[in-house]
Amino acid sequence: MGAMEKAASYRFDLTRYAWVRRLLTSRWPQFILRAVTLAGFMLVILTGFIGSPVGSRNFAVMFVWIAWWSALKLIMLPFGGRVWCSICPIPMPGEWLQQGWLVKPGGKKFNLGLRWPRRLRNTWLQSAGFAAIGLFSALALTTPVVTAWIFVGLIIVAVVVSVVFEQRSFCRYLCPMGGFIGLYATMAPLELRPQPDLTSVEKGAAVREWPRGCPWINNPAALKANANCGLCLECLRTESGESMALNARSFDAELGQPGAFRLDEAFLSLGLLGSVMIYSAVFQGPWGALKNAALYAGSPAWWGFAAFFLLTSFGLLPALLAGVSALVRRTGNLGQPLQMVFTRFSRALLPLGLLSWIAFTVSFAFGKMAYLWPVLSDPFGWGWNLFGTAAVEWQPYLLNATPVIEAVLLVAGLIWSGRTVLKTAGQLGVRGERRWAAAPVLLFALAGTLILLWLLIG
């Protein structure tokens, strides 16, 4: 193991401190946070339906798309991975019905308990959901009632799925945000894992215990990736909970290691990279016709936008990377199937995707964050002034600094992805004199970075 991989595998068990473990094994802190976020999202729905239809003056739009969505991408996801999933209120009503309890197991269950269809145990539906929200994003960002309907829809679907299927099937296989968060949680410096020195006897005991203990339908004893662990912490609360640890780790700890990546995950990875480019063009670009096309859902122009969005994100980018992967496979004289080469390079591009989303969020959120103060005092846009901030005028924050921050983030994403591409190429067998064979993938990443630099900074 090289020095870089040793550094990448650094981990620090946070649960070695008794007070941390006590805090995490108690369901109350997490429950209280979820109850508060549930109330927050109820307010989102209420303001969306009965508040001002002016997006910039409505709590629903400002809270969801400026505060929450930005905090998710800037803080929660890069530093906590799926930490949002652990306090997400969307599945809460469904879980309450399904399990019959909130903090203390027991009570009457209301659940058919079906297993999620085998063919759908992947991220395809999550990709579709994320793309669907993306197609209506301009509308949702300007129309509070659309935002409210999105959340009502998510809660209804979550309740139905919770009643029909087992555990948190909704979160794992359907939630549009779940796919996005899960994929990029790979690079988070936080993980829930079995203790490294677990004996086979302890593992066996844990496996018998954990099916009840993991609502995300994992076998925690074999947990190696962040993507499907929702940090719900239930495994810590079982009798075998001592066998699990919440680790702080380096950002590259998981991505730096060889890891399987399915075709659906590869498409999601590239779809998210394509999406952020299109979001950047729509929201930060100077093209009024494109903004109008994205806004007027159902119009002929919108159908053109939808086709462009889907074909670019889920057609063009995967096709380009597949071509590039075929070139690498040929020039690098690799024996692995093309699909494996393609999916592994898709995984290597995750850092560029994540940092592109963060860069986009910096440009988007800091420009609009000042709208938050008036809606805090006047969430419904009814002319209230609860905290004296209703008249705060809009002004963009960090106007001069954001281009620099965005450029640094994008270059960092390129370097991180570049390193990962080279490492991945090495793992695939591109070594020695043929090392240059990975250059097309690096050029692919460079082209993506340049496009984003152009879109965001100009």
Residues in touch with another protein (CB under 8 A): 31-32, 35-36, 38-39, 42-43, 46-47, 52-54, 56-57, 92, 96, 101-104, 106-107, 374, 379-384
Q: What is the per-residue DSSP string for 102-153?
A: SSSS-S------BPPPGGG-SSHHHHHHHHHHHHTHHHHHH-HHHHHHHHHH
Burial tier of 143 (Cβ tally within 10 Å: 0-12, 13-18, 19+): buried
Residue 40 Cβ vs another protein, minimum distance, rounded to whole Å: 8
Q: 152 vs 451, which CB is nearer to another protein? A: 152
- Shortest Cβ 100–another protein spacing (Å): 9
Q: How far is the CB of 396 from another protein (least distance, A)?
A: 17
CB of 226: closest distance to another protein in angstroms?
28
∠ Cα 134 443 319 (to 5°): 50
Q: Which is nearer to another protein, 15 or 147 (CB)?
A: 147
Cα–Cα distance between 310 and 117 in angstroms, integer? 25
- Give the long-range contacts of residues 12-17, CB within 8 A, separation 24 or more: 12/247, 12/248, 12/249, 13/195, 13/245, 13/246, 13/247, 14/245, 14/246, 14/247, 14/248, 15/236, 15/244, 15/245, 15/246, 16/245
What b/e string do you get for 51-67 counting C-beta neighbours within 10 Å, with b at 16 or more?
Answer: bbeebbbbbbbbbbbbb
Contact 385, 391 (CB under 8 A): yes
Contacts 24+ apart (CB under 8 A), 324-328: 324/440, 324/441, 324/443, 324/444, 325/441, 327/440, 328/425, 328/430, 328/437, 328/438, 328/440, 328/441
| Tokens 């739009």 found at | 61
Nearer to another protein by C-beta: 45 or 310? 45
Rounded CA-CA distance 169/171 in Å is 6
Torsions phi, psi of 44, nearest 5? -60, -50
Strands (E), 332-390: none
Given the complex with another protein, which of 29 and 323 has the nearer CB atom? 29
Q: Cβ 54 to another protein, closest distance in Å?
A: 4
CB of 176 to another protein, least distance (A): 24
Residue 95 or 252 having the CB closest to another protein: 95
Task: Give the residue with the Cβ less far from another protein, 54 or 114.
Answer: 54
| Token pair for 83 | 């930490």
* Residue among 105 and 304 whose Cβ is closer to another protein: 105
Q: Which is nearer to another protein, 26 or 331 (CB)?
A: 26
Q: How many CB atoms lie within 10 A of CB 419?
A: 16
* Cβ proximity to another protein, 55 vs 367, nearer residue: 55
CB of 373: closest distance to another protein in angstroms? 13
Minimum Å distance from CB 282 to another protein?
20
Cβ at position 92, least distance to another protein in Å? 8
